[in-house]
């Protein structure tokens, strides 16, 4: 009865290779067993020895051989083959583990993703295509299964990065007695129909954007602070240390016309002042002459009273004042100019 209780693991890899393993150290301690198998039926069976043993601490713990038919019989014996320790007969087609899906393609349209692969050459009706996906915000994989060899799913956010993986599964119990699936196809990363190397790239791009914006804001803030400090410093500097006037702007002609030659500039300035005084003295004589002429006319015409108001420029021998004086009428006239007033009565002038 213990022979029937021996636990073995049987895998038919895509109906190409068989692998049968057992717990050698627990089931057969201290004994290195042998393995033989046959795919023949009926009385004329041809038993073959295991071509490739799987070892566990130098003990035979399994056998790997080629799949040659739908019906398999195997036997585990002692080391010299004289005693059978375990035997079993089974349908190899019920232990098939499919290969990974080949040529997997992704089609992304709006919020729908469709995944497809090439159809296997054997027993397609027993296969299902499983799609698993998750975004960077999901902790667990989301799963979707469909007939081989296309599966679609909706509700994908184009702003998120998703991880996808697919595999093929065998139907249980119609095709397999064991729930075998293929290994997962290589995981891929997609975002809005664009294949990425990793979803970390999306996180890095967002983090880089945040870093750049933060740096720009920091720079702008520093510039604003420096501008405020500069204005404050200028105000403080003006209040503590008043600016010394630049003689360049006060004495423009000294620097522009004479290139800073003070002696040349002062000589020309003195000459201009003397000439100006002489020009101003000439109208003064005209005023006196006109006054004498007016006195003679007044002797002839009788006593007359004239009030003149001259500006300060007339007192300073301004030619304009002399010109105005020449235009004065000889009759009693009252002329107003801002400045000094002269009252003329016969031969007497009174300055007010």
Q: Where in the chain are the domains?
A: 8-97, 105-196
Q: Which of 102-111, 275-284, 304-313 has the highest mean pLDDT?
A: 102-111
Residue 193's pLDDT band (boundaries 50, 70, 90)?
confident
Write the secondary structure of the chain as one string of H (helix), E (strand) and C (coil). CCCCCCCEEEEEECCCEEEEEECHHHHCCCCCCEEEEECCCCCCCCCEECCEEEEECCEEEEEEEECCCCEEEEEEECCCCCCEEEEEEEEHHHHEECCCCCCCEEEEECCEEEEECCCCCCCHHHEEEEEEEEECCCCCCEEEEEECCEEEECCCCCCCCEEEEEEEEECCCCCCCCCCECCCCCCEEEECCEEECCHHHHHHHHHHHHHHHHHHHHHHHHHHHHHHHHHHHHHHHHHHCCCCCCHHHHCHHHHHCCCCCHHHHHHHHHHHHHHHHHHHHHHHHHHHHHHHHHHHHHHHHCCCEEEEEECHHHHCCCHHHHHHHHCCCCCCCECCCCCEEEEEECCEEEEC
Q: Which of 346, 12, 49 is nearest to 180 (CA)?
A: 12
Check pLDDT > 70 for residue 350.
Answer: no
Task: Note the pTM of the prediction, 2 decimals.
Answer: 0.54
39-52 tens-digit pLDDT: 988 777 889 999 99
Residues above pLDDT 90, as percent of the chain: 26
Structurally, what CATH architecture does the domain formed by 8-97 represent?
Sandwich (2.60)
As a whole number of angstroms, the distance between CA 293 and CA 177 comes to 149
pLDDT at 92: 92
- Tell me which range, 3-12, 121-130, 227-236, is most confidently predicted by mean pLDDT: 121-130
The answer on pLDDT for 349 being more than 80 is: no
Identical topology for domains 8-97 and 105-196: yes
| pLDDT of res. 164 | 92
247 — pLDDT class (breaks 50, 70, 90): low
Euclidean distance between CA atoms 39 and 70, whole angstroms:
7
The yes or no reply on domain 105-196 and CATH 3.30.565.10 is no
Instruction: Check if the beta carbon of residue 37 is closer than 8 Å to that of residue 115.
Output: no
Mean pLDDT across the stretch 194-201? 81
Per-residue pLDDT, 332 = 45
pLDDT attached to residue 270: 64
Mean pLDDT of 53-80: 91
């Amino acid at each position: 009865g213990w022979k029937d209780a021996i636990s073995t693991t049987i895998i038919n890899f895509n109906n190409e290779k068989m692998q049968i393993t057992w717990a050698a150290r627990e089931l057969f301690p201290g004994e290195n067993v042998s393995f033989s198998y046959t795919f023949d039926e009926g009385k004329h069976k041809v038993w073959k020895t295991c071509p490739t043993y799987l070892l566990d601490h130098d003990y035979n713990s399994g056998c790997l051989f080629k799949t040659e038919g739908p019906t398999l019989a195997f036997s585990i014996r002692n080391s010299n083959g004289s005693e059978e320790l375990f035997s079993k007969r089974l349908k190899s087609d019920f232990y098939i583990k499919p290969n990974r899906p080949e040529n997997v393609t992704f089609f992304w349209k709006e919020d729908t993703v469709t995944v497809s692969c090439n159809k296997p050459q054997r027993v397609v009706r027993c296969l299902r295509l499983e799609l698993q996906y998750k975004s960077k915000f999901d902790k667990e994989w989301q799963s979707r299964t469909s007939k081989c060899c296309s599966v679609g799913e909706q509700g994908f956010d184009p702003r998120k990065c998703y991880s996808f993986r697919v595999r093929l599964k065998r139907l249980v119990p119609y095709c397999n007695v064991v729930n075998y699936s293929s290994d997962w196809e290589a995981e891929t990363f997609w975002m809005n129909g664009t294949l990425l190397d990793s979803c970390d790239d999306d996180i890095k791009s967002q983090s880089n954007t945040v870093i750049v914006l933060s740096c720009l804001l920091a720079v702008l803030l520093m510039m604003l602070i420096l501008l405020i400090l500069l204005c404050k410093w200028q105000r403080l500097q003006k209040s503590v240390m008043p600016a010394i006037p630049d003689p360049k702007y006060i004495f423009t002609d000294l620097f522009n016309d004479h290139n800073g030659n003070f002696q040349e500039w002062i000589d020309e300035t003195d000459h201009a002042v003397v000439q100006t005084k002489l020009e101003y003295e000439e109208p003064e004589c005209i005023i006196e002459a006109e006054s004498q002429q007016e006195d003679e006319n007044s002797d002839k015409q009788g006593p007359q009273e004239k009030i003149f108001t001259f500006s300060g420029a007339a007192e300073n021998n301004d030619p304009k004042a002399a010109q105005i004086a020449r235009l004065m009428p000889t009759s009693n006239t009252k002329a107003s100019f801002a400045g000094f007033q002269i009252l003329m009565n016969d031969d007497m002038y009174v300055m007010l």
